[in-house]
A and B are shown apart, each in its own frame.
Chain A
Amino acid sequence: MNEGQLMTQAPPPKPNPGLFKRNPPIAGEAEAIEAAKNGDAEAFSQLYSLHKRRVYTLCLRMLGNVSEAEDMTQEAFLHLFRKIGSFRGESAFSTWLHRLTVNLVLMQLRKKGLNLVSLEETINPSEEDAPKRDFGSRDPVLTSSVDRVSLERAVASLPPGYRMVFVLHDVEGFEHNEIATMLNCSTGNSKSQLHKARLKLRELLRNPNPSPQSDASTEAAK
C-alpha cells in the first residue's frame, strides 16, 4: 500500500496553520495533487505550471547559474513525479516541494565538490569574502529603503555558503533548525552564517561597485 492509498483511508493529518503563512493553498491545487498521485498527466502539468517559477527561482538563487538552475528545475519536477505519492498534506505543498528542491540542489552541490557536511569548515568564505566589522558612519539610504533589484544583485554576489543560508532563511522562510538539518550543521552555525551573510550584504549594498584601486589597496594591505 502506498501513501496515496493511506491518504484515502486514514483521516487526513491536521495541518499546522503556521506552515501556510507564506504558502497559502492555491485554488485547484489540492485536486491536482490527488489526481497527479493517481498518474493524471494533465494534473501533473498543472502542478508544473503552478510551481515552475518558484522552483526555478529557488534553484537560480542557490546555484547562481541559469543553465544549472534549469537542469535542477527539471530534476526537481521529475523527482516530484516519483515522490508525489508521499505528500501527506502536513505542510503546504509548495513548502514540501521547496524542501525537496533544496535537498536536490544540495546533493548537486555536494557532487560538484562543495562539501556541506561540515558547514564550519567548508562553506565559510575566505577571510577576503568575510564581512568586515563596521560600526562606522551609516549610510542613511540603506535603512530607508533597499530596492529589490539591488538586493537581488547583492545576494547573487555573496559567497555560496552565505548565499545558501540567506536564501533559505530570509527568502524561503525556513527555520534555523530546518536549515541545520538540511545543511547538516548546528542551529547556532546557521544563525551565525545568516548574520554574516546579512553583514556582507550590508557592505555590498553600501558599496556596490568597489573600485579596482580600492581592491588593490586592500590586497596590498594584507
Chain B
Amino acid sequence: MSEPGDINFDDLKPEEFEQYLPELFATGDKVSDDPRLQKLYAAHPDCLALVRDLETIAETARSLFEPEGDPSDKVWKNIQNKLRDGSALDDEADGGDDIPNGLSKLN
C-alpha cells in the first residue's frame, strides 16, 4: 500500500497514481477536490474521471443503508418459540451471561 504523504503527484502516470488511491480515499476528503492533484487531473482527465466515478459509487452506497425489505413473519415466530422453550439459551457457546429474566412473559 502506497502512502501519499508529501509526494508530488504532478508527474505521475495514471497507473502510478492509482496505487495511491486507496489511501487518498481513506482520508475521507473529496479526492477530486484535492489541490495536490489538480495538475495531474489536467494532464490526465481520465484520472479525474476515475476518481469521480469512485466518489459517485461511494456516495450512492450510503443510500443503500436504508433498508427496503422485511424478513418474513416466520423469523419472529421462530425467535418467540426458541425463547419460550429456552433453547435459545442452550446453544450459546460463549457463556450465556447477561441473560434477562422473564422469558415466560414472551407472547
Interface on A for B, CB 8 Å cutoff?
Answer: 2-4, 22, 36-42, 44-45, 48, 52-54, 56-57, 60-61, 69-70, 73-74, 77-79, 81-86, 133-138, 142-143, 145-148, 151-152, 155, 166, 170-173, 176, 188-189, 191-192, 194-195, 198-199, 201-202, 205
B100, closest chain A residue (CB): A39
A143→B22 contact, CB < 8 A? no
Q: Does B5 contact A (CB under 8 A)?
A: no
List, in ascending order, chain A residues with CB within 8 A of B65's CB: 22, 171-173
- Please, which residues of chain A bring their CB within 8 A of the CB of B92? 79, 82
Q: What is the minimal beta-carbon distance from B45 to any residue of chain A, in angstroms?
A: 8
Given known contacts A48-B79, A135-B14, A176 and B26 CB-to-CB distance under 8 angstroms: yes
Interchain Cβ contacts under 8 Å between A and B, 27 examples? A4-B98, A39-B102, A40-B100, A41-B83, A41-B106, A41-B107, A52-B70, A52-B76, A53-B68, A54-B67, A74-B75, A74-B78, A77-B79, A78-B79, A79-B92, A83-B98, A85-B100, A86-B98, A135-B15, A135-B44, A138-B46, A166-B61, A171-B65, A188-B1, A195-B54, A198-B54, A202-B50
CA distance A151 to B103 in the complex (A): 42
| Distance, CA A42 to CA B52, complexed state (A) | 48
Closest A residue to B83 by beta carbon equals: A81
Q: How far is the CA of A41 from the CA of B101 in the complex (A)?
A: 9
A interface SS class: helix
> B residues 34-76 with Cβ under 8 Å of A?
44, 46-47, 49-50, 52-54, 56-58, 60-65, 67-72, 74-76
Number of A-B contacts (CB under 8 A): 172
B88 & A73 in contact (Cβ 8 Å cutoff)? no
For the complex, would chain B's binding face be called helix, strand, loop or mixed by DSSP majority? helix
Q: Count residues on chain B whose CB falls below 8 Å from chain A CBs.
A: 53
Q: Flag if B106 contacts A44 (CB, 8 Å).
A: yes
Q: State whether A151 touches B57 (Cβ < 8 A).
A: yes
Q: Give the residues in chain B near A53, CB-CB below 8 Å.
A: 67-71
Q: Please state if B98 and A39 are interface contacts (CB–CB under 8 Å).
A: no
A133 near B18 with CB under 8 A, answer: yes
Instruction: Give the distance to chain A from B54, nearest Cβ to Cβ, in Å.
Output: 5
B99 touches A (CB below 8 Å):
yes
